[in-house]
């Protein structure tokens, strides 16, 4: 009886693994299906990204000028002032230009 119970659990596990509620088509603002993952939300930062959409294969968001990070949530190196306009570049102390 104990072995039968284990076999039933195994059958249920295989069934639910193969017939899970994984998405079959990406919606706007999702990524990951091509990697065999369940659909993942892009999670693009509203302040630093150009839109709520991301690359459907990598999940990388399109960032505003001077902004970086997968979710566009930080200023790129040499930039400051994270805002809805992006980030401003710091002056280059050698050339005295932005």
**CATH code of the domain in which 55 resides:** 2.10.25.10
- Which single residue is written with the structure tokens 């659909």? 39
What pLDDT does residue 3 have?
57
Is the residue at 83 inside a domain?
Answer: yes
Is the residue at 73 inside a domain?
Answer: yes
Domain around 33? 28-98
Q: How far apart are CA 67 and CA 7, in angstroms?
A: 53
What pLDDT does residue 94 have?
47
Is the residue at 53 inside a domain?
Answer: yes
Is the residue at 36 inside a domain?
Answer: yes
Q: How far apart are CA 20 and CA 4, in angstroms?
A: 24
Is the residue at 1 inside a domain?
Answer: no
Q: From first to last of its 98 residues, what are the pLDDT tens digits of the chain?
A: 555 544 555 544 444 444 345 678 889 999 998 888 889 999 999 999 999 999 999 999 999 999 999 999 999 999 999 999 999 997 544 455 55
Q: How far apart are CA 10 and CA 26, in angstroms?
A: 30
What pLDDT does residue 52 have?
95
The domain total for the chain is 1
Is the residue at 40 inside a domain?
Answer: yes
CB atoms within 10 A of CB 87: 21
Is the residue at 38 inside a domain?
Answer: yes
Beta bridge partners of 61: 54
What pLDDT does residue 51 have?
96
Is the residue at 6 inside a domain?
Answer: no
């Amino acid at each position: 009886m104990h072995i039968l119970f284990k076999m039933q659990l195994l059958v249920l596990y295989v069934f639910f693994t193969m017939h899970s509620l994984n998405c079959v088509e990406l919606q706007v603002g999702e990524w990951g299906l091509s990697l065999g993952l369940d659909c993942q939300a892009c999670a693009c930062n509203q302040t630093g990204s150009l839109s709520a959409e991301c690359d459907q294969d990598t999940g990388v968001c399109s960032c505003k000028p001077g902004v970086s990070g997968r979710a566009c949530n930080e200023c790129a190196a040499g930039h400051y002032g994270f805002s809805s306009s992006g980030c401003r570049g710091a002056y280059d102390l050698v050339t005295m230009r932005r």
